Amino acid sequence: MNVEIRELDESYKGKKFLFQYETTHYFDIEATEKEEEWGLRFIKKSFEKAIQKQFESVLLEDFLEDPMLLGAFKQDKLVGFIELSHEKWNNRLRISNIFVEKPYRYQGIGKILMDKAIEHGKNIKARAIVLETQSCNAPAIKFYRRCGFTLIGCDLTAYSNRDTEQKEVRLEMGRCL
């Protein structure tokens, strides 16, 4: 895929993007708690029919530490981006958003953006790169795993008190640099 990656400026601050995806699978969470042992199992299961999900995100929000926004351009058209933040307190690079326009997905643009993020993390000597996704976002989980990310944690009540029942548990994924 012939794309140019450019750092985007402050003019993108506050812009809203609608993230949409379709998923056919989710990772069901099975929690066990005994006096001497706690456990979580993530079991891949199928939805009865494909599920459409969407959420809105705002770019370059004030809570991000040293944010950086890289854009993927095809013939001067922005077709994707990755938003990064260097968490200095623990020296990790956080991916707060990664997005590729629907007509350009599955063409390697996401991988190019991810490779640039990993390169940036190494350049600033971050010890790891981390991100958040949902247990029902099977396409994203598959992509992140192909990029070398593994599960590093989860939050069973990040979005609501019914995340496990709703098949939308926050997953933290990461990889050491």
CA torsion sign for 151, 157, 160, 162 is: positive
CA torsion sign for 145, 48, 158, 20 is: positive
Domain region containing 151: 4-176
Average pLDDT over residues 28-33: 92
Number of domains in the chain: 1
CATH number, domain of 57, equals 3.40.630.30
Q: Residue 103: exposed, middle, or buried by beta-carbon count in 10 A (0-12, 13-18, 19+)? A: exposed
Side chain identity, residue 57: S
Side chain identity, residue 130: V
pLDDT at 123: 97
Cα gap 166→28, rounded to integer Å: 10
Comparing C-alpha atoms, which of 79, 87, 80, 72 is closest to residue 121? 87
DSSP state of 12: G
Q: What is the pLDDT of residues 148-166, one digit of tens each?
A: 999 999 999 999 999 999 9
pLDDT at 1 over 80: no
Q: What is the pLDDT of residues 90-120, one digit of tens each?
A: 999 999 999 999 999 999 999 999 999 999 9
Q: What is the pLDDT of residues 59-75, one digit of tens each?
A: 999 999 999 999 999 99
